[in-house]
Chain A
């Protein structure tokens, strides 16, 4: 359906967990009763004021919300066009947006009487957030992480261990996020009765895409009212990076029915979006398929086998994307573009130099697109980009990519 014919973009998913044809519940029978239970519990909880009171309390006192909306003045001057604001979710406890969602899921897990929490992680940010909240509540935590990611995100592996989590390196496939998610699902079918699977992005079977979006929407809700305070109006453009799409969905969702707001999602272009398929741009370089419980755009070959994808950013290295993004893409409500590793690295440095903010490689992708479009826009055009994570975890990867020898600093 084309965008003009849709009254509201905020009503999805339907009762079958579909956003248009995307989403759904493509899981094995063993998991199906669990997923239905979770849906029932979440539906109940969603309208329970005591749940949101608990969330608000922890968001304020534990996470440090609201995160600031910051006018990036030197960056704006440097790019010489649109006025650029950053939504500073990198200032959250644990350093990324991931904890917004984890808090919601863990409080729900506690209400459901689950004692063991599992999670998948790519960059390690979701793993760290899950390990953190589990430590706070005294829950057992097991994190699946691709062996390749364990290598490139070492600081986060150590953090998870300090927090008492068990980190399981996954060697199947190429050892990245997709493979970690497979193993987390395998764990879940094995320990269904006491285990809660805390998914880190807006993917997976219904109700995860909707539930994670609802928890992350705090980003967009805050940004909307903060922008009103700062500029007396809505932003003209909102931009976020996309791995599975949770920080983006969280920023976008409250703006979906504001037709004046241009919405742009930035996928990881890796070495460039072409037939070598060395990228993770599911929407710009993939086709619809079914993986990890939902129908969505996927990187796949002619036989329907899933491709591994490639990105310098572990958090974006996923061959799928949340189903709601696939739907926003097909309806045309949101635009999706890609940015290469090299462009993201440049934006990473630009943020360090102009704003004194070391960004994670994931939001560096969003920033790279901002840097592309801002110079061509008028100075009264207001952009809000999601600075969804800080870059401490990435300094070794960046040093390597920039050919800096870290031992020089010993």
Chain B
């Protein structure tokens, strides 16, 4: 059982919905990023998604693209991201961390060494956008064997035929992408997302959280009502991009968390 499994079990027992926050590792720099990271559990974040900076994030909109560029410009690397997780783990052993990003930096590091180093640093799961089930042998299977959750994205284009394949090697939770599009684009519409979540729940017992297009505490509440949790990314990252200090970013995150938790 990973920290992710434990966290969702606890939330379920309490009858609460999960609030998931996405921040970019090393944005705007290592120290500020660590400060934000350390503040997340206290701000009410149940699961942390930590973005891996990449030069070519093809599923991300401008807000997260720029965050990655800021982090890379400040010298962030995959090794430093693992160091960031390790520093976070020094005084926090319960909040789950999921690394979210693209495959190339991991492949470059070497899959086996990466899994070993990530596990040792205190990472709990992976969301790798450009690894669909067709490429499961690359990282998904080795990650599960190494004791990390591999969390898959399901999307509006994932039809009935495909859904079982998408669920097959998924663990931890399922991330439903509420829109066809990139991060930070259109707004998620609870009325449309609800039936989709039900469709996924019909084929899996895993928790289903919804992300992409959720920008406010109210939107988070609406979505959390019809799912097991809501993810907010671009709206948070945008504040970091505007140069707001970590304390102010965390204040906003607290409001988002309260929104989702009031569902």
Answer whether residue A398 sits at the interface, using C-beta atoms and an 8 A cutoff: no
A304–B177 CB distance below 8 A: no
Answer whether residue A182 sits at the interface, using C-beta atoms and an 8 A cutoff: yes
Answer whether residue B142 sits at the interface, using C-beta atoms and an 8 A cutoff: no
B105–A305 CB distance below 8 A: yes
How far apart are B15's CB and chain A's nearest CB, in angstroms? 30
- Binding-face segment, B59-67, B87-95, B195-203: B59-67
How far apart are A33's CB and chain B's nearest CB, in angstroms? 5
Q: Which of the listed residues B79, B105, B152 has the most CB atoms from chain A within 10 Å of its own CB? A: B105
Q: How many residues of A contact B (CB 8 A)?
A: 36
Answer whether residue B107 sits at the interface, using C-beta atoms and an 8 A cutoff: yes
Contact flag A303-B56 (CB < 8 Å), given A27-B130, A30-B180: no
Contact flag A189-B182 (CB < 8 Å), given A291-B104, A304-B104: yes
B135–A29 CB distance below 8 A: no
- A303 CA / B25 CA spacing, docked (Å): 14
How far apart are A40's CB and chain B's nearest CB, in angstroms? 12
How far apart are A18's CB and chain B's nearest CB, in angstroms? 10
A26–B135 CB distance below 8 A: yes
- A300 CA / B156 CA spacing, docked (Å): 33
How far apart are B111's CB and chain A's nearest CB, in angstroms? 12
Contact flag A303-B132 (CB < 8 Å), given A28-B58, A186-B58, A186-B59: no
Contact flag A303-B58 (CB < 8 Å), given A25-B132, A30-B177: no
How far apart are A260's CB and chain B's nearest CB, in angstroms? 37
Answer whether residue A75 sits at the interface, using C-beta atoms and an 8 A cutoff: no
How far apart are A30's CB and chain B's nearest CB, in angstroms? 4
Contact flag A192-B157 (CB < 8 Å), given A26-B103, A289-B108: yes
Contact flag A193-B180 (CB < 8 Å), given A26-B103, A29-B152, A290-B107: yes
Answer whether residue B159 sits at the interface, using C-beta atoms and an 8 A cutoff: yes
- A289 CA / B54 CA spacing, docked (Å): 13
Contact flag A305-B55 (CB < 8 Å), given A32-B132, A32-B134: yes
How far apart are A326's CB and chain B's nearest CB, in angstroms? 14
Per-residue 0/1 for B78-110: is the Cβ within 8 Å of any A Cβ (1 yes, 0 no)?
Answer: 110000000000000000000000111111110
Count of A-B contacts judged by CB separation below 8 Å: 114
Answer whether residue B263 sits at the interface, using C-beta atoms and an 8 A cutoff: no
In the complex, chain A residues whose CB is within 8 Å of the CB of B134: 16, 24-25, 32
Contact flag A27-B132 (CB < 8 Å), given A33-B162, A172-B65: yes
Per-residue 0/1 for A287-321: is the Cβ within 8 Å of any B Cβ (1 yes, 0 no)?
Answer: 10111110000101011111000000000000000
Contact flag A25-B135 (CB < 8 Å), given A173-B55, A289-B108: yes
A190–B107 CB distance below 8 A: no
Contact flag A34-B59 (CB < 8 Å), given A16-B134, A193-B180: no
Contact of A28 among B72, B153, B156 (CB under 8 A): B153
How far apart are A361's CB and chain B's nearest CB, in angstroms? 25
- A104 CA / B208 CA spacing, docked (Å): 41
- A46 CA / B50 CA spacing, docked (Å): 44
Answer whether residue B246 sits at the interface, using C-beta atoms and an 8 A cutoff: no
B78–A190 CB distance below 8 A: no
Q: How large is the interface on B (under 10, 10 to 19, 20 to 34, 35 or more residues)?
A: 35 or more
A189–B104 CB distance below 8 A: no
Answer whether residue B206 sits at the interface, using C-beta atoms and an 8 A cutoff: no
In the complex, chain B residues whose CB is within 8 Å of the CB of A291: 56, 104
B159–A33 CB distance below 8 A: yes
A290–B177 CB distance below 8 A: no
In the complex, chain B residues whose CB is within 8 Å of the CB of A287: 108
A29–B166 CB distance below 8 A: yes
Answer whether residue B121 sits at the interface, using C-beta atoms and an 8 A cutoff: no
Contact of B108 among A16, A27, A172, A303 (CB under 8 A): A303
Per-residue 0/1 for A186-224: is the Cβ within 8 Å of any B Cβ (1 yes, 0 no)?
Answer: 100111110000000000000000000000000000000
In the complex, chain B residues whose CB is within 8 Å of the CB of A86: none
Contact flag A172-B62 (CB < 8 Å), given A29-B132, A193-B180: yes
In the complex, chain B residues whose CB is within 8 Å of the CB of A182: 56-58
- A303 CA / B82 CA spacing, docked (Å): 13
In the complex, chain A residues whose CB is within 8 Å of the CB of B130: 26-28, 290, 293
Answer whether residue A87 sits at the interface, using C-beta atoms and an 8 A cutoff: no
In the complex, chain B residues whose CB is within 8 Å of the CB of A289: 104, 107-108
- A16 CA / B136 CA spacing, docked (Å): 12
Q: Which of the listed residues A27, A32, A191 has the most CB atoms from chain B within 10 Å of its own CB? A: A32
Answer whether residue A178 sits at the interface, using C-beta atoms and an 8 A cutoff: yes
Answer whether residue A185 sits at the interface, using C-beta atoms and an 8 A cutoff: yes
Please provide the chain A residues from 148 to 199 with a CB less than 8 Å away from any CB of chain B in the complex: 172-173, 178, 182, 185-186, 189-193
B154–A29 CB distance below 8 A: yes
B residues whose Cβ falls under 8 Å from a Cβ of A: 53-62, 65, 72, 77-79, 102-109, 129-135, 152-159, 162, 166, 177, 180-182, 185
List 12 extra interface pairs beyond A186-B182, A303-B105, CB under 8 A.
A16-B134, A25-B132, A26-B103, A26-B135, A29-B155, A29-B177, A32-B132, A290-B102, A303-B79, A304-B109, A305-B55, A306-B55
Between-chain CB contacts (< 8 Å), 18 pairs: A16-B134, A25-B135, A26-B103, A27-B132, A28-B155, A33-B157, A33-B159, A34-B157, A191-B180, A193-B180, A291-B104, A292-B58, A293-B130, A300-B108, A304-B105, A304-B107, A305-B54, A306-B104
A residues whose Cβ falls under 8 Å from a Cβ of B: 16, 24-34, 172-173, 178, 182, 185-186, 189-193, 287, 289-293, 298, 300, 302-306
